[in-house]
Amino acid sequence: MDKAVIETIRLNLYYGDFLALEEVNIRIHRHRITAIIGPSGCGKSTLLRCFNRMNDLVESTKVEGQILIEGEDILSDKMDLISLRKKVGMVFQRPNVFNLSIYDNLRFGLRIHRMMSEKKKIDEAVQNALEHVGLWDELKDRLKKNARTLSLEQQQRLCIARVIILKPDIVLLDEPCSTLDPVSTLKIEELLRILKRDYTIVIVTHNMQQAARVSDETAFMHLGKLIEFAGTAEIFSNPKEKLTENYISGRFG
Partner 1 sequence: MSRKIREFGVEGCIKLSGLLVIIFVILIFLLLLKESLSLFGVYPFKDFLTGTKWLPVSDPPKFGIVPLLLGSIYVTVGAIVICVPLGVASAMFIAEVAPAGFKHILKSLIEILASIPSVVLGFIGIVWLGPFLKTTFHLSTGMCGLTGSLLLAYMALPTIISISEDAIVSVPKSYKEAAFGLGATRWQTLWRIILPAASSGIIASIMLGIGRVIGETMVVLMVTGNSPIIPHTLLQPLRTLTATIAGEMGETVSGSDHYYALFATGLILFIITFLINLIADIYLQRTKK
Q: Which residues sit at the interface with partner 1, rule CB under 8 A?
A: 52, 54, 57, 81-86, 89-90, 92, 94, 96-100, 108-109, 111-113, 159, 162-163, 166
Sign of CA dihedral 8, 57, 205, 159: negative
**CB of residue 248 vs partner 1: minimum separation in angstroms?**
30
Nearer to partner 1, 44 or 87 (CB): 87
Helices 102-112 + 119-132 axis angle, to 10:
110
Distance between alpha carbon 161 and the CA centroid of its chain, in Å? 13
Nearer to partner 1, 40 or 99 (CB): 99
Nearer to partner 1, 33 or 163 (CB): 163
**CB of residue 63 vs partner 1: minimum separation in angstroms?**
17
Nearer to partner 1, 12 or 146 (CB): 146
**CB of residue 143 vs partner 1: minimum separation in angstroms?**
18
**CB of residue 245 vs partner 1: minimum separation in angstroms?**
35
**CB of residue 203 vs partner 1: minimum separation in angstroms?**
15
Nearer to partner 1, 122 or 163 (CB): 163
Residue 120, C-beta contacts closer than 8 angstroms, at least 6 positions apart = none
Nearer to partner 1, 94 or 206 (CB): 94
Q: How far apart are CA 148 and CA 30, in angstroms?
A: 33
HEC assignment per residue over 91-150: ECCCCCCCCCEHHHHHHHHHHHCCCCCCHHHHHHHHHHHHHHCCCHHHHCCCCCCEHHHC
* Cα-based distances in Å from 200 to 55, 80, 87, 98, 236: 21, 21, 11, 25, 22
List the 4-15 sheet strands across, edge first: 18-29, 4-15, 61-69, 72-73
List the 217-222 sheet strands across, edge first: 88-91, 170-174, 200-204, 33-37, 217-222, 225-231
Nearer to partner 1, 155 or 205 (CB): 155
**CB of residue 81 vs partner 1: minimum separation in angstroms?**
7
**CB of residue 125 vs partner 1: minimum separation in angstroms?**
14
